[in-house]
Structure 1
Amino acid sequence: MSATVRAGVRRGMPVFPATVALGVSFGVLAVPLMGVVAPVLMSAIVYAGGSQFAAVGVLAGGGGAFAASGAGLLMNGRFLPMGFAFAPAFRGGRAWRAVQGQAVIDAAMVLGRDEDGTYDRKLLFGISATQFVGWVGGTALGVFAGENLPDPDAFGLDAIFPAFYIALLGSELHRVRARVAAVLAVGVVLAGSAFMPPGVPVVAAAAVALIGLIPERGGGEDSGPEKEETA
């Protein structure tokens, strides 16, 4: 394991407990709807908390497998604009770049960004590996030990999911464009949730949030005097 991958693992450890708790919550909620094996396999293969919770929500509301899959697919649509920021970090042919794209997760989007806004693929791999262990392990814990755990709503695990993303968002709000993107995205989600199917508001908000990728110019918070070259 390279030093950069190890650095990614260390960088991902602070949110590891929250990832485990999210996995436990998903496992507990999914068992009555999906059985014992499917939730763990879903976490290992899909590896996307937002889409998995959306699918469970559809199933809990009486929807079928097709509707649940559609909701999950729409939720994962957010990875398309996220991929624009990650893409320059990946190397190789299309197939290998697609494999490397598995490091595109919400936590890595924030934790793996360097000060200049770029990403190192090995750092992303370390962060993603840490979160993968926490997510799948937490799901398995929720599935197999769920009977001995409190109800997710009573224990407050239902609040961990939004709190996790709010915490990730907080570190990005030092940029003016990021604050504008956040406000607009929240507005789209709140307005769209009233009449759009599950998952669609998130995709729309992700599209709005693309403005956060535009570099700030003209004395913005990220701008500053250019460094003079030294001999």
Structure 2
Amino acid sequence: MSRMTALSDPPAPTTAAPPPAAGARSDRAVIRDSLGVGVAVGVSGIAFGAAGTAAHLTVWQTCALSLLVFTGASQFALVGALAAGAVPFAAVIGALFLGVRNSFYGLRLAERLQLPFRLRPLAAQLVIDETTAVALVQPGRRSTRLGFFATGISLYLIWNATTFAGALGADALGDPSRYGLDVAGPAVFLALLAPRLREGGAERATALLGAVLAMAAVPLVPAGVPVLIALAAVPAVLLISARRVKSEAPTEVRTGGERQEDER
């Protein structure tokens, strides 16, 4: 009986694993790229720590800026203004003005991350240039969240550790600019931007126009402000593209009455 049952029963169907979604990335690849950005940019905290003590801040005041503010460019703008002799109020206002861009980043990331309310305060602390760049190049929500938090947490930890080290060893380090740490951030952005430049003419035009605006503004405005001026490239390219599409749109077919009126 058992032999007859074995011969008559069809074999159980095997379930194959579903194919990966198009454009999906493995968690390992996302974490690898995120940690690369965190380490590359995080080591520049040494330069900030040294700059903070050079601006006559204490070690603990310098570290508090990295722990509580954590905006990179705004921190450098603040200590740079203090080192140049600006009053603290003016230095803080300039840093806040430069940090406004993070609010716009948050608006864009909120749509992509879709985080629960309990995680939003933590995420708000991590909204900076690097986390935004890494998150927005990810193809799916899971990889977006993973890239955002892996970049943000690793960068936060390394930045604060190197800030402390730079503030303690400022005298031994000398001029931090000689180490070339200031190029770490731009180098990372070039690496993140390169895939986007292959997507279409609008992306290339925005990048080139933004670079021209930033380079033209460098000798004219304080440090950090050229980045904000470069943002003007976005509405400029959008306006030009809209006008081009409008001019290339086919003219409406005139009605028979209009054609008869023209013949008269």
TM-score relative to the length of structure 2: 0.66
Query: Across the two proteins, how many residue pairs are aligned to each other?
Result: 210
Within the candidate set 149, 163, 169, 2:187 is matched to: 163
Q: Which moved more, 1:168-177 or 1:53-62?
A: 168-177
**What aligned pairs does 1:1-231 form with structure 2 within 5 A after superposition?**
9-33=31-55, 34-88=57-111, 89-93=113-117, 97-112=120-135, 113-115=137-139, 120-176=144-200, 177-209=202-234
**CA distance in structure 2 between the partners assigned to 1:104 and 1:7 by the alignment:** 21
Map Cα deviations across residues 54-86 of structure 1 (whole Å, 9 max, x no partner): 112212222121121122112212223323331
Which letter maps to 2:129? D
SS at 2:100 equivalent: helix
How far 1:183 sits from its partner (Å)? 1.7
Map Cα deviations across residues 88-115 of structure 1 (whole Å, 9 max, x no partner): 113345x863542333222222222313
**CA distance in structure 1 between the partners assigned to 2:218 and 2:49 by the alignment:** 25
**CA distance in structure 1 between the partners assigned to 2:152 and 2:119 by the alignment:** 17
Q: Contact 1:52–1:72 at 8 Å: present in 2 too?
A: yes
SS at 1:120 equivalent: helix
Gaps of 5+ in 1: 217-231
2:252 aligned residue: none
Residues 199 and 107 (structure 1), Cα distance of their counterparts in 2 relative to 1, 3 Å cut: closer
Q: Contact 2:42–2:162 at 8 Å: present in 1 too?
A: yes
How far 1:150 sits from its partner (Å)? 4.2
Residues 157 and 196 (structure 1), Cα distance of their counterparts in 2 relative to 1, 3 Å cut: closer
How far 1:153 sits from its partner (Å)? 2.4
How far 1:29 sits from its partner (Å)? 1.2
How far 1:159 sits from its partner (Å)? 3.6
SS at 2:197 equivalent: coil
TM-score relative to the length of structure 1: 0.75
Q: Contact 1:47–1:132 at 8 Å: present in 2 too?
A: yes
Which letter maps to 2:213? V
Which letter maps to 1:49? G
Gaps of 5+ in 2: 1-25, 242-264
Which letter maps to 1:15? V
Report which structure shows greater RCO (CA 8 Å, sep ≥6): 1
How far 1:47 sits from its partner (Å)? 0.6
Residues 81 and 55 (structure 1), Cα distance of their counterparts in 2 relative to 1, 3 Å cut: same
SS at 2:231 equivalent: helix
1:225 aligned residue: none
Q: RMSD of the TM alignment (CA)?
A: 3.2
2:244 aligned residue: none
Residues 76 and 212 (structure 1), Cα distance of their counterparts in 2 relative to 1, 3 Å cut: farther
